[in-house]
Structure 1
Amino acid sequence: MRLRRWRLQTRLIVLAGLVLLLVGAGIGAASWVSVRTSLMSDLDEQLTSMASHARSGGPGSGPGAGPGTESTSAVDSALRFLFQPGVGDGALAVVDSGGGGEGLIAEAGLNRPRSLSSDAIEALLSVEPGTSEASHESVRVPGFGVYRVVAFKENGTRTVYGVPQGSVDAALDRTAWTTSVVVLIGVLITAGLMAVIIHRQLRDLRDVARTAREVTDLELSAGKPELALRVPSELAIPGTEVGDVGAAVNRMLDHVGSALDERYRGTEQMRRFVADASHELRTPIATIRGWADLTRPYRDDLPDEVTTSLGKIDSGAMRMSSLVDDLLLLARLEAGRQPTSEDTVDVSSLLVELVEDAHVVNPDHRISLDVPPEALEVRGAADQVRRVVAIVLTNACVHTPPGTTVHVEAQAMRKPVSGQLPSDVVSIRISDDGQGIPPEIRDRVFDRFVRGDPSRARQDGAKGGSSGLGLAIAAGLVDLMHGSISMSSTEAGTTFELRLPVA
């Protein structure tokens, strides 16, 4: 997982822990190297001192004589090393005069050194003589472990002296483990303290984030927006990281609040204009329809052109009157000024009546109805329920080709549907097997002036076009009755579902 996907607090703690781990590892490595250098230096000094005494013929004796006896052979002279004062258990010496190597090792509990095996002698003789007594080397001797050795070559004789390095290696291992444990414990304790400190230091940033989350939970899509939330002033002082973020959030909220207020004012002005214009247009439209109606008794005596013109005026006035009524109703719904009632509406009989009317108006569609034998009753106004169902059913017939099957069904649902709806509702589903609603407008079908074909205009008769207000009115009426309306559409058909509370 990428580090930037983690929470800021987690990232800071992890990064701080890694830095502490690297620093601790560096300190531990430096300590180990220092201890090793010191121990190896002491061991090399001890080895050099004893080798010097052995080569110079200092006090000691060869293996074939008692203390104080001087040996003249090269091997005995070299092996004098094993009898130096301070030579511990495991010290060894190997001499090669050209006729094969000989080696001895001092072991505790033995009066005389023990001979080395041929493999051990071969490993020790593989050490190249140094140019000085400081040329020490570590060698693994088969059967005996790691030794610190120094080699010399004089007068054709190679001599190798060595002391065991096991005590130094054991001390270094203990140092490494101790250092690792101390560093790990120190890193964990420091990381825990830093986690507490970082958590406290990020508290102000969390307060800013909490304000932003509270703003996102506000309902700003409808009604007059109330955007009074702001980051506290003490957290919005520029100059620090948190202060800069808090000040920027407050400025953003100020701009958003101003934009929402401006949008609300514009929407209210448009709504008042639509409502006022619709109200004012009703009188002249009614006048036009009244004067047109006065001519009906005399149309048979008028020329055909005049009769046709009067008919067009009459139908146009009727369409205009219907459109103005829809606009006025929609404006009242959006303003919350449309009254409703809590009557009991028999949905079953209402659906039977509307389906019968649809059969007459749309004889080229196959319309079916499926309702349970028991009556389905909802709370609301009968005319409003009728209008909602009529709008959806009419759309299903008008906007589908002849031969389309339209199915209407209703049922009671005895389970929770939504946190905002009663648990008992009546579901009314109106589905068709037509071509479906175009994908680009499926998310906006309940908005005003949304039509499947923008070029279409309402014509005379039931099969005309659409003004794009029907579903917006249906959604407003359903919401007024505390119900819900939803739509699902594919290329295989469209289904609208109304859910109204049970009476």
Structure 2
Amino acid sequence: MTLRRWRLQTRLIVLAGLVLILVGAGIGTASWLSVRGSLMTDLDAQLTSMTSHARSGDGPGAGPGASGNTGTSGGGDDSAAAVDSALRYLFQPGVGDGALVVVDSGDGGEGLIAEAGLTRPRALSAEAIDALLEVEPGGASSAHESVRVPGFGAYRVVAFDDGGTTTVYGVPQGNVDSALERTAWTTAFVVLFGVIATAALMAVIIHRQLRDLRDVARTAREVTDLELSDGKPELALRVPAELAVPGTEVGDVGASVNRMLDHVGSALEERYRGTEQMRRFVADASHELRTPIATIRGWADLTRPYRDALPAEVTTSLGKIDSGAMRMSSLVDDLLLLARLEAGRQPTREDTVDVSSLLVELVEDVHVVNPDHAISLDVPPEALEVRGAADQVRRVVSIVLTNACVHTPPGTNVHVEALATRKPVSGQLPSDVVAIRISDDGQGIPPEIRDRVFDRFVRGDPSRTRQDGAKGGSSGLGLSIAAGLVELMRGGISMSSTDAGTTFELRLPAA
């Protein structure tokens, strides 16, 4: 999950926390380095003072005797004198606890360390002496080094080379290291506490500052939840005026959202007015067409007793007039029904309809008209009953079943089944429904119209008529009427189609 996909509030808090951590780490590191520099400077000054006194021979005190613990007894040559002179410093009063001196004149190194509570310095181990003699002689303060002396811990040391004799002076660094460790832990705790406290405070501040933006987003979500597809659109929601004042980021967004909603509302109003005008025109035109169409059919019917005496061409023409008038009358009736459904003026009833027997009748009727299709029916032995008007249920099933036959080639298998189940209908929670599935193994509905099969004037055949002219023309209104009638009965209809076939499912409330 990338940072861009996080909520703005989360991103701001995380980024602010990271900045605080970096700043806190920088401050803590700088503080620790400053303390370390100060302590090491004091320690180097102590070491410099020690070496200055030791090498100048200042201060009272007697050197070690012949029987002392310096390791120099019995020596009277220059080398022994040099070692004795260097180690003599540790016998002076006031020498710091832990101070040490190591001398190597070429005959083997010797070393002593002053310890509190002892009247005389203690000899260093050979391992400690070897570790100290590895320090390169320098003498200047810049040559001070930190080394770890076996058995004694960390030391700050400096080495001198006096004509072949190497002398190493050292003071303990343990107190400095302990102080630095305590400083590090204290600084880390303070920085961590400060980061957490500041981050929590910033989270509260950011949350409060983004409250206005959340209000704008809530308005946008409420708009998306509105049902704007049917009926007169009501788009009265707006971002509150105090949040839509340009000049700030939130104000600019709020003002833009309100302007967008104004444009959308105007467009919806215009669309609604155009749709209403079209509905009224279709209803009025259909109503006005019924009279002349009925007149044409009436005059055509008056000629029936005399058609045997008329020439064949005239009889054929009258038959075409009659069939055309019937198709036109059916189309006008469909348009009127669709207009009433869309306007919510189509009445319905809450009868109990026996779906099982209705399907048996419809399958038999459709099979007679379409003998070149294999139509099968599968219904449970118990009766399936739904709430609705019997003629409307029959009309819906007939439309879908007829489409399955007339829009597929001969030899197609059409299967009809009905079963009781629990599914949501008309946006309600799942309830007891009767599902009627009508499926075929034909070529399927073209992909480009699958999302529009329930719209008006949508045809599966791109031409204006079906491929089999004997079955009559296609108005493209059947599935629109079916969807409207199912919705009127508080049911649902859906479709799934592939290249291997199509399935329609009708869901009607169980009685």
* Shorter-chain TM-score above 0.5: yes
Note if contact 1:426-1:501 (Cα within 8 Å) is conserved in structure 2. yes
Kindly tell me: are residues 250 and 468 of structure 1, through their superposed partners in 2, closer, same or farther at Cα, counting changes over 3 Å? same
Q: 1:381 aligns with which of 363, 376, 389?
A: 389
Kindly tell me: are residues 413 and 405 of structure 1, through their superposed partners in 2, closer, same or farther at Cα, counting changes over 3 Å? same
Note if contact 2:143-2:158 (Cα within 8 Å) is conserved in structure 1. yes
Note if contact 1:315-1:460 (Cα within 8 Å) is conserved in structure 2. no
**In the alignment, what sits opposite 2:65?**
64
**In the alignment, what sits opposite 1:299?**
307
**In the alignment, what sits opposite 1:234?**
242
What do residues 166-212 of structure 1 show as CA deviations (whole Å, max 9, x unaligned)?
Answer: 11001100000011011101111111111111111111111111111
Note if contact 2:422-2:430 (Cα within 8 Å) is conserved in structure 1. no
For the residue of structure 1 that corresponds to 2:245, the secondary structure is: coil
Distance, in Å, in 1 between the alignment partners of 2:145 and 2:422 is: 90
Kindly tell me: are residues 158 and 137 of structure 1, through their superposed partners in 2, closer, same or farther at Cα, counting changes over 3 Å? same
Note if contact 2:490-2:508 (Cα within 8 Å) is conserved in structure 1. yes
**In the alignment, what sits opposite 2:13?**
13
Amino acid at match of 1:486: S
Larger displacement relative to structure 2 (455-464 or 183-192): 455-464
Amino acid at match of 1:292: A
Q: 1:166 aligns with which of 131, 153, 174?
A: 174
Q: How does 1:250-261 map to 2 (within 5 A)?
A: 250-261=258-269
Distance, in Å, in 2 between the alignment partners of 1:175 and 1:378 is: 82
Q: 1:124 aligns with which of 132, 135, 150?
A: 132
Q: 2:439 aligns with which of 431, 436, 440?
A: 431
Note if contact 1:422-1:501 (Cα within 8 Å) is conserved in structure 2. no
**In the alignment, what sits opposite 1:248?**
256
1:431 positional shift = 1.9
Distance, in Å, in 2 between the alignment partners of 1:145 and 1:113 is: 18
Identity among equivalent pairs (%): 87
Whether 1:52 and 2:60 are equivalent positions in the alignment is no
Kindly tell me: are residues 61 and 468 of structure 1, through their superposed partners in 2, closer, same or farther at Cα, counting changes over 3 Å? farther
Distance, in Å, in 1 between the alignment partners of 2:466 and 2:320 is: 14
Amino acid at match of 1:36: R
Note if contact 1:398-1:462 (Cα within 8 Å) is conserved in structure 2. no
Amino acid at match of 2:63: G
Distance, in Å, in 2 between the alignment partners of 1:164 and 1:485 is: 90
What do residues 239-276 of structure 1 show as CA deviations (whole Å, max 9, x unaligned)?
Answer: 11111111111111111111111111111111111111
Whether 1:105 and 2:113 are equivalent positions in the alignment is yes
Kindly tell me: are residues 13 and 208 of structure 1, through their superposed partners in 2, closer, same or farther at Cα, counting changes over 3 Å? same
Distance, in Å, in 2 between the alignment partners of 1:500 and 1:27 is: 72
Distance, in Å, in 1 between the alignment partners of 2:159 and 2:435 is: 101
Q: 1:90 aligns with which of 89, 98, 110?
A: 98
Distance, in Å, in 2 between the alignment partners of 1:355 and 1:372 is: 16
For the residue of structure 2 that corresponds to 1:42, the secondary structure is: helix
Amino acid at match of 1:63: P
Distance, in Å, in 1 between the alignment partners of 2:440 and 2:35 is: 88
1:133 positional shift = 4.6
Distance, in Å, in 1 between the alignment partners of 2:82 and 2:238 is: 97
1:472 positional shift = 0.5
Whether 1:485 and 2:486 are equivalent positions in the alignment is no
1:88 positional shift = 2.6
**In the alignment, what sits opposite 2:352?**
344
Kindly tell me: are residues 392 and 281 of structure 1, through their superposed partners in 2, closer, same or farther at Cα, counting changes over 3 Å? same
Whether 1:473 and 2:481 are equivalent positions in the alignment is yes
> Which consecutive residues of structure 1, in runs of 5 or more, have no partner in the other structure?
none
Q: 1:150 aligns with which of 155, 158, 171?
A: 158
What do residues 94-131 of structure 1 show as CA deviations (whole Å, max 9, x unaligned)?
Answer: 11223332222223444332322333223222222225
Amino acid at match of 2:353: V
Distance, in Å, in 2 between the alignment partners of 1:162 and 1:142 is: 14
1:416 positional shift = 6.2
**In the alignment, what sits opposite 2:340?**
332
Note if contact 1:410-1:428 (Cα within 8 Å) is conserved in structure 2. yes
**In the alignment, what sits opposite 2:42?**
42
**In the alignment, what sits opposite 2:407?**
399
1:471 positional shift = 0.6
Kindly tell me: are residues 326 and 421 of structure 1, through their superposed partners in 2, closer, same or farther at Cα, counting changes over 3 Å? farther
Note if contact 1:384-1:477 (Cα within 8 Å) is conserved in structure 2. yes
Note if contact 2:445-2:497 (Cα within 8 Å) is conserved in structure 1. yes
Note if contact 2:426-2:492 (Cα within 8 Å) is conserved in structure 1. no
Distance, in Å, in 1 between the alignment partners of 2:458 and 2:85 is: 114
Note if contact 1:54-1:77 (Cα within 8 Å) is conserved in structure 2. no
Distance, in Å, in 2 between the alignment partners of 1:319 and 1:380 is: 28
**In the alignment, what sits opposite 2:71?**
none
Q: How does 1:23-42 map to 2 (within 5 A)?
A: 23-42=23-42
Amino acid at match of 2:233: P
Note if contact 2:91-2:121 (Cα within 8 Å) is conserved in structure 1. no
Distance, in Å, in 2 between the alignment partners of 1:125 and 1:422 is: 90
For the residue of structure 1 that corresponds to 2:471, the secondary structure is: coil
Amino acid at match of 1:241: E
Kindly tell me: are residues 16 and 460 of structure 1, through their superposed partners in 2, closer, same or farther at Cα, counting changes over 3 Å? closer
Amino acid at match of 1:43: L
TM value normalised by structure 2: 0.92
Amino acid at match of 1:442: R
Note if contact 1:365-1:405 (Cα within 8 Å) is conserved in structure 2. yes
Distance, in Å, in 2 between the alignment partners of 1:277 and 1:142 is: 111
Note if contact 2:425-2:492 (Cα within 8 Å) is conserved in structure 1. no
Query: What is the number of residues matched between the two proteins?
Result: 500
Note if contact 1:129-1:150 (Cα within 8 Å) is conserved in structure 2. yes
Distance, in Å, in 2 between the alignment partners of 1:277 and 1:30 is: 88
Kindly tell me: are residues 471 and 78 of structure 1, through their superposed partners in 2, closer, same or farther at Cα, counting changes over 3 Å? same
For the residue of structure 1 that corresponds to 2:169, the secondary structure is: strand
1:85 positional shift = 4.2
Distance, in Å, in 2 between the alignment partners of 1:391 and 1:88 is: 110
For the residue of structure 2 that corresponds to 1:213, the secondary structure is: helix
**In the alignment, what sits opposite 1:359?**
367
Kindly tell me: are residues 63 and 255 of structure 1, through their superposed partners in 2, closer, same or farther at Cα, counting changes over 3 Å? farther
TM value normalised by structure 1: 0.94
**In the alignment, what sits opposite 1:390?**
398
Note if contact 1:146-1:166 (Cα within 8 Å) is conserved in structure 2. yes
1:480 positional shift = 0.9
**In the alignment, what sits opposite 2:72?**
none
Kindly tell me: are residues 156 and 458 of structure 1, through their superposed partners in 2, closer, same or farther at Cα, counting changes over 3 Å? closer
Note if contact 1:347-1:377 (Cα within 8 Å) is conserved in structure 2. yes
Amino acid at match of 2:14: V
Distance, in Å, in 1 between the alignment partners of 2:66 and 2:310 is: 161
